[in-house]
Amino acid sequence: MDLSLTDQQEMLKQAVDDFVSRDAPIETLIELQQTERGFSDEMWRTAGELGWLGMLIPEEYGGSNTGYTDAGVVFEALGKGPVPGPFFSTVLAGEIIKELGDDAQKENYLTRIANGSLIATLAMAEPDYQWGNAGVQLAPNEEGDDYILNGEKSFVYDGHAADLIITAIRTGSDDNDISLLLVDTSIPGVSARKLEGFTSSESSVTFENARVPKSALLGEVNAVAEGLHVALMRATPLLCAYKVGGAQAVFDLSVQYSRDRVQFGRPIGRFQFVQNHIVQLVIHLDSARWTTYEALWKMDTGRQTEAAIHLAKAVTSDGYRHACDYGHEVHAGTGVVREYGLTLYTRQSRSLFHALGEPRYHRRQLAKLMPTLQLDDE
Amino acid sequence: MDFAPSYTPEQEAFRKEVRSWLDDHAPVIEGDQDSPENYAKFRQLGRDLGQRGWLRPTAPVEYGGGGMGFEETVVLYEEMSRRDLSIPPYYDSGGWLGGASILVWGSDEQKQSLLPPIFKGDVVTWQLLTGPEAGSDLAGTQTDAVRDGDDYIVNGEKIYVGGSNGVDMLWTLTRTDPEGERHKNLSWFMIPADLPGITIRPMDLLGDGGEGVGSGVKNTVYFDNVRVPAERLVGGENNGWQVATTHLELEHGAGGSVSRNLWFSRALEWARARQLNGRPLVEDSDAQDRLVEIYEKTEIQRLFGIRNFWMNRTHQSMTYEGPQSSYFRKLSGLDITTALHELFGPYALTNDEITDFSEGALDAYQRSAIVALHPGGTADVQKVLMARRIGMGRSEAERYKAGKTVE
């Protein structure tokens, strides 16, 4: 038993922390949030150069394959920024291609993901929003060796920035009768519009007579559900780690504010109602942190992960959201001033709440495991 | 990171040794675990463990401990927990926490004389903290100890004390300078329970706090001109608050735990065994949702326990983690009883010999989760501690450091 980071993980954490304080201070991130793309290409390039995008990719495709916990450490540090950008979307796409791609597809895409020259994402949900395979209704027409796509994918993270969109299509009547297409966004008929509002990087992707060759199928027709599930599950704890980093930052900000802000002649952190907000905040933070890192550890050590991952995602989505709510109770008016920075986290706590399934979805998956769940020590 | 202890071949061999030893020594218990016959079996197990140094595995061998390392100790805890046994295997709060305090604060003579009986299981020791006048305000105790020659004369009253099957030693906080400055007028004593002037009377409470075998009853302890030898004062006169930081830190959960909260596995087992509309209850979607609620709380409890266990045993710098774990356990205990109530309906409340399927466990837990809100500091006190340790509204310099812990 050892809950400390390894030396290598400490170095990784330090590298990202250094990068954030040097290149991505909060003032810079506040400006970025208001730009059209919402992230910095330069930061993206740096992440690629430093190898943060290839940590789960095998060495033969240019990755370092260092493991999930190492990648989790990097994602936590990015989330603490919070550094915006298509980091998670691209790593998720890499996991799907790793799981379902043929050799040529892996060679083509994984090498470019690993070195940061390809931005990729997954498009699942549609205007009738629901997470999961049942929500995939976009059915293609077939013309010879091509699929013709007409329709819309909604709430696609980083769709507006992506070079490649792994697009889920309906190819049969059973919920799991879906297929995946590797859609190059430069082809005619594909357009993306970033969704404004209390969102982060969600986009709407529209297909108008977009012609995609059948050679762009990732995996076999109607036979991708299992591989997609495996890849989604593996990537989920990295998204959780990103949120843990954000919740940690909100905790740090709130403690500091409780010391600095004086009302009625005392620092507000001396008032027990204010203290209670931070007490609840740190319980959410630590619940998120340890469920996430245990899931990562289970993945790295080949243990049963299903329950741990669903738990981590439910706890972390709730946890980040509540951490921000409590942070706002501590900060009151100051917290909602854009230039203070707290709302960068709050925005992500909302935008990522439902990413890869909202807490209710993951608790339902956990519930379905109850008849057969085995405890580790049984 | 490694959430599971990693075992060397030597440790695996140790596990085999522990397992086979427990095969021979673990008591067979039927019926009320607190009955005199059953309690005697747990006490015997304590003495048998003590013979091997396993009752206090990490304490120094010279005082009757096992002198064992972290990973080996984990093996021992795991094997005990697998049989639903704890270390020590009966309620011994004063031995557990007082023993730790004496290790840090006791004189050499005191360590030599007081610790071996505790660590070898020869005595049962209760802690006496709360008084009618001093609950959360522990430092406000009005149990007085006045020096008289080679003795102290102790007068006062302590409540919510101990357990159901008698006691040998009382680990007690007293006031040794009524006029003195707050927090600088307190002293600890390890008092033999059979001294003249000590009266122990059971209290009539809602239930026990789920503190293990022999904890079923709480008592009021009256001190009426009790003459206590001065060498029983531990940690220096009027230095009691310093000593208390060690004691309380452990009581507030900083010691951690590697065992699982059993309520999830129990609930799961019953939900699989019971029927609803001709199908196992566990297949009902609402029942599953309640199980998930229990799973979530118990998993987080387990993770906080592991974290604290690891931090404590590897001497990490701890701040708010102990009271956080304690607070979470108290509050989630209530949530779990609610989920169990929804899961099993009115069965959650009865211990009727025929109707109840849980052998009294469900009814007892509905009560003990409520009782457990106060021992070791109320839930609110845990939050106050967290606030100070995190340093809310305080500069780094004003931030309260955690007490010194051992083992």
pLDDT digits (tens, 9 = 90+) for B69-79: 877 888 998 89
Taking alpha carbons only, the member of B172, B167, B232, B153 closest to residue B201 is B167
Query: Is A255 in Cβ contact with B394 (below 8 Å)?
Result: no
CATH of residue B310: 1.20.140.10
Q: Are B19 and B61 found together in one domain?
A: yes
How far A331 CA lies from chain B's nearest CA (Å)? 13
Residue A310: pLDDT band (50, 70, 90) is: very high
B193: its two tokens: 């329970």
Fold exhibited by the domain A225-369: Butyryl-CoA Dehydrogenase, subunit A; domain 3 (1.20.140)
B374: its two tokens: 């106060």
B207 domain-assigned: yes
Q: Are B231 and B265 found together in one domain?
A: no
Q: Which residues in B lie closer than 8 A to residue A294 (C-beta atoms)?
A: 3, 303
B407 pLDDT higher than 50: no
Helices (H), B156-262: 240-249
A246: its two tokens: 């954000």
**Residue with the larger pLDDT of the pair B136 and B167:** B167
Query: Is B328 in Cβ contact with A315 (below 8 Å)?
Result: no
Query: Is B320 in Cβ contact with A2 (below 8 Å)?
Result: no
Q: What region, left, alpha or beta, does residue A118 occupy, with left being phi > 0 and alpha being psi -120 to 50 degrees?
A: beta
Residue A65 CB coordination number (10 Å): 14
How far B254 CA lies from chain A's nearest CA (Å)? 15
A123 pLDDT higher than 50: yes
Does the bond joining B88 to the residue before it have cis omega, within 30 degrees of 0?
Answer: yes
B337 domain-assigned: yes
pLDDT in tens, A51-103: 999 999 999 999 999 999 999 999 999 999 999 999 999 999 999 999 999 99
| pLDDT of the residue at B406 | 44
Query: Is B310 in Cβ contact with A1 (below 8 Å)?
Result: yes
* DSSP secondary structure, A46-81, as one string: HHHHTTTTSTTS-GGGT-----HHHHHHHHHHHHHT
B99 domain-assigned: no
How far A323 CA lies from chain B's nearest CA (Å)? 16
A269: its two tokens: 């952190």
Kindly state whether A259 is in contact with chain B, defined as any CB-CB distance less than 8 angstroms.
yes
Query: Is B304 in Cβ contact with A291 (below 8 Å)?
Result: no
Residue A52: φ, ψ to 5°: -75, -15
Query: Is A268 in Cβ contact with B1 (below 8 Å)?
Result: no
Q: Which of B90, B108, B141 is the last residue of a domain?
A: B90
B169 domain-assigned: yes
B318 domain-assigned: yes
Q: Which residues in A lie closer than 8 A to residue B1 (C-beta atoms)?
A: 2-6, 69, 293, 296-297
As a whole number, the mean pLDDT across chain B is: 91
Q: Which residues in A lie closer than 8 A to residue B70 (C-beta atoms)?
A: 1
Helices A7-23 and A68-80, packing angle to 10 deg: 30
B253 pLDDT higher than 80: no
Strands A202-213 and A217-218: unpaired
| pLDDT of the residue at B252 | 65
Nearest neighbour of B393 by CB, restricted to A267, A291, A298: A267
Kindly state whether A271 is in contact with chain B, defined as any CB-CB distance less than 8 angstroms.
yes
pLDDT in tens, B170-209: 999 999 999 999 999 999 999 999 999 999 999 999 987 7
Query: Is A255 in Cβ contact with B303 (below 8 Å)?
Result: no
Instruction: Say how far residue B8 (Cα) sits from the centre of its chain.
Output: 30
B323 domain-assigned: yes
Kindly list the distances between the CA atom of residue B252 and the CA atoms of A243, A319, B377, B390, B403, in Å, as whole numbers in the listed order.
29, 24, 7, 15, 11
Percentage of residues of chain A with pLDDT beyond 70? 99
Kindly state whether A276 is in contact with chain B, defined as any CB-CB distance less than 8 angstroms.
yes
Does the bond joining A82 to the residue before it have cis omega, within 30 degrees of 0?
Answer: yes
**Residue with the larger pLDDT of the pair B22 and B97:** B22
When divided into structural domains, chain B yields a total of: 3
Q: Are B297 and B368 found together in one domain?
A: yes
Q: Which of B90, B116, B140 is the last residue of a domain?
A: B90
Domains A7-119 and A121-218 share a fold: no
Q: Does domain A121-218 have CATH number 2.40.110.10?
A: yes
Nearest CA in chain A to B380: A276
CATH of residue B19: 1.10.540.10
pLDDT in tens, A154-193: 999 999 999 999 999 999 999 999 999 999 999 999 999 9
pLDDT in tens, B336-362: 999 999 999 999 999 999 999 998 999
Mean pLDDT of B366-390: 92
Q: Are B295 and B264 contacting, i.e. CB atoms less than 8 angstroms apart? A: yes
Q: Which residues in A lie closer than 8 A to residue B304 (C-beta atoms)?
A: 286, 290
| pLDDT of the residue at A378 | 41
| pLDDT of the residue at B401 | 63
Query: Is A278 in Cβ contact with B324 (below 8 Å)?
Result: no
Kindly state whether A367 is in contact with chain B, defined as any CB-CB distance less than 8 angstroms.
yes
Query: Is B384 in Cβ contact with A370 (below 8 Å)?
Result: no
B105 domain-assigned: no
Indicate the burial class of B272 (C-beta count within 10 angstroms; 0-12, 13-18, 19 or more). Answer: middle
B358: its two tokens: 């849980």
Query: Is A287 in Cβ contact with B300 (below 8 Å)?
Result: yes
Distance, CA of B162 to CA of B176 (rounded, Å)? 23
How far B6 CA lies from chain A's nearest CA (Å)? 6
Residue pointed to by tokens 């990202």:
A16
Query: Is A283 in Cβ contact with B292 (below 8 Å)?
Result: no
Q: Which residues in B lie closer than 8 A to residue A367 (C-beta atoms)?
A: 285, 288-289, 291-292
Residues 6+ apart with CB under 8 A from B194: B168
A126 residue type, one letter: E
Q: Are A326 and A257 contacting, i.e. CB atoms less than 8 angstroms apart? A: no
Nearest CA in chain A to B289: A367
Indicate the burial class of A220 (C-beta count within 10 angstroms; 0-12, 13-18, 19 or more). Answer: exposed
Q: What region, left, alpha or beta, does residue B405 occupy, with left being phi > 0 and alpha being psi -120 to 50 degrees?
A: beta
Instruction: Say how far residue B323 (Cα) sits from the centre of its chain.
Output: 14
| pLDDT of the residue at B315 | 78
Percentage of residues of chain A with pLDDT beyond 90? 97
B405 pLDDT higher than 50: no
- A 48-87 near B (Cβ less than 8 A): 69
Q: Are B186 and B229 found together in one domain?
A: yes
Query: Is B304 in Cβ contact with A370 (below 8 Å)?
Result: no
For chain A, how are helix, strand and coil distributed in percent, rounded to 5? 55, 15, 30
Percentage of residues of chain B with pLDDT beyond 90? 74
The residue count of chain A comes to 378
Nearest neighbour of A279 by CB, restricted to B6, B387, B395: B387
A187: its two tokens: 């082809």
Query: Is A282 in Cβ contact with B386 (below 8 Å)?
Result: yes
First to last CA, chain B: 22
Nearest neighbour of A297 by CB, restricted to B2, B327, B394: B2
Q: Which residues in B lie closer than 8 A to residue A363 (C-beta atoms)?
A: 289, 292, 296
Mean pLDDT of B307-318: 84
Q: Are B277 and B393 found together in one domain?
A: yes
B175: its two tokens: 């006031």
pLDDT in tens, A213-226: 999 999 999 999 99
Q: Are B306 and B391 found together in one domain?
A: yes
A316 pLDDT higher than 50: yes
Nearest neighbour of B1 by CB, restricted to A69, A278, A307: A69
Distance, CA of A246 to CA of A368 (rounded, Å)? 30
Mean pLDDT of B212-223: 91
Q: Are A198 and A347 contacting, i.e. CB atoms less than 8 angstroms apart? A: yes
Q: Which residues in B lie closer than 8 A to residue A371 (C-beta atoms)?
A: 272, 280, 282-283, 288
Mean pLDDT of B206-235: 91
Mean pLDDT of B114-133: 96
Residue B84: pLDDT band (50, 70, 90) is: confident
| pLDDT of the residue at B375 | 85
Taking alpha carbons only, the member of A134, A171, A139, A164 closest to residue A152 is A139
B321 domain-assigned: yes
CATH of domain A7-119: 1.10.540.10
Domain extents in chain A: 7-119, 121-218, 225-369
Query: Is A5 in Cβ contact with B392 (below 8 Å)?
Result: no
Q: Are B192 and B285 found together in one domain?
A: no
A248 pLDDT higher than 50: yes
Kindly state whether A314 is in contact with chain B, defined as any CB-CB distance less than 8 angstroms.
yes
Helices (H), B149-277: 240-249, 263-273
Mean pLDDT of B311-334: 90
Question: Has B251 been annotated as catalytic?
Answer: yes
A330: its two tokens: 């501590």
Residue A129: pLDDT band (50, 70, 90) is: confident
B146 pLDDT higher than 70: yes
B378: its two tokens: 């109320």
Percentage of residues of chain B with pLDDT beyond 70? 96
A9 residue type, one letter: Q
Q: Are B176 and B186 contacting, i.e. CB atoms less than 8 angstroms apart? A: yes
Site from B3, B15, B78, B314 to mutate, A interface, most A CB atoms within 10 angstroms: B3
Query: The domain containing residue B354 runs over which residues?
Result: 255-398
Distance, CA of B100 to CA of B115 (rounded, Å)? 9
Distance, CA of A79 to CA of A136 (rounded, Å)? 29
Site from A283, A284, A296 to mutate, B interface, most B CB atoms within 10 angstroms: A283
Q: Are B205 and B334 found together in one domain?
A: no
B30 pLDDT higher than 90: no
As a whole number, the mean pLDDT across chain A is: 96
Candidate list B72, B249, B251, B293, residue with the active-site label: B251
B112 pLDDT higher than 80: yes
